[in-house]
Structure 1
Amino acid sequence: MTGRIPSLPPESLGEDQRALYDAITGGPRAQGPQHFALTREDGSLRGPFNALLLSPALGSALQSVGAAIRYEGTLSARAREIAILLVAAEWDSAFERESHEAVGAAAGLTIEELRALRDGTTSLFTGEEGVVARVVSQLARGDLDDETWNEATAALGAQTVFELTTLVGYYATLALQLRVFGVED
């Protein structure tokens, strides 16, 4: 049991669940260096991914959005991890913090920067990373004011602002699901 729902090891999955499991464990998240484990010893998925198996059609769409954000977006790896970690801080999402601090460190975030992000502090970041941090901080708490919108579109472009709004919504959704389903690992 992982919180409120059971772990779903691969041998217990139906056909649609197995297709989603294979997309997660065989897709871009599983390629290259692994900064956090996707599966437990029994093969069941960790974090939000186990819950995605409850509704394979919706879970597939959601995991595809996440893969696009992480592997097909325009943000630099550092800027993307700054954004994800700010959402994790705002939603107090332990799994997202643990997994993305490891990814963030691999992307070049320092211990000092990771500590600041844990606290939701953005003052260490400048340039485009500072703009990303300000945009995400505002979005995580509500809406984007006109001043920040103008700064963001001038520095990043509307496409990247769209990407950031999608990132905030996606990681806030995962944080909510992790909390509701009582997922701790």
Structure 2
Amino acid sequence: MKITNYCFSALLLLTVAGCDRLEKDMLSAPDDATIDRYGLDAVKLGDKRVEAGAQLQALLDKPMQCTPGKTGLGDKRKAYALEECSATPVNGEVGKLWDEKLSFFKAVFVENQLCSLELQLKTSGDYEKLYDAHGKKILNLFGKPDEVTAKEVVWQREGDEATLKDLGNGRVNLEIRNKKVMQALHHKG
């Protein structure tokens, strides 16, 4: 896909921020080889539970509620430790990320490593302002997108995937996951 096509489909529907600037930011975004793992500013996929949990808790207004369990991965006959963490909204919010309101939070740890993170931002819906504040940061975290449509941007590495979706009315969903582990997760024991 040519870089000019990104101007028509848009990162977070942010093309109103200007195709020239978006194109320049996309060209200067890091390549996959320079990005170790996908994640947020201080927490990355594969981080240990204790460190990742502390960084994620800093985003939230109230303590995470975590449910421990066991799971199988694919066809392996071993039970792996699973922990799913979420946050209960208060007045429709669970915390903040990048000065934007978080309305949903879910983290999944398998064998004490962060394997999936799903967040929903509740923004003003002013995509030009959002791009000004966060567009370059998102490109620096995930690099050049692999797929872009009018409602979704997808970044893929060999084992990781990040998806940014416009849900409408200023709601933006960000999901970062280890593809291999999350696809192999098939049941809880």
TM-score w.r.t. the length of structure 1 is 0.30
TM-score w.r.t. the length of structure 2 is 0.30
Name the structure with the higher strand share: 2
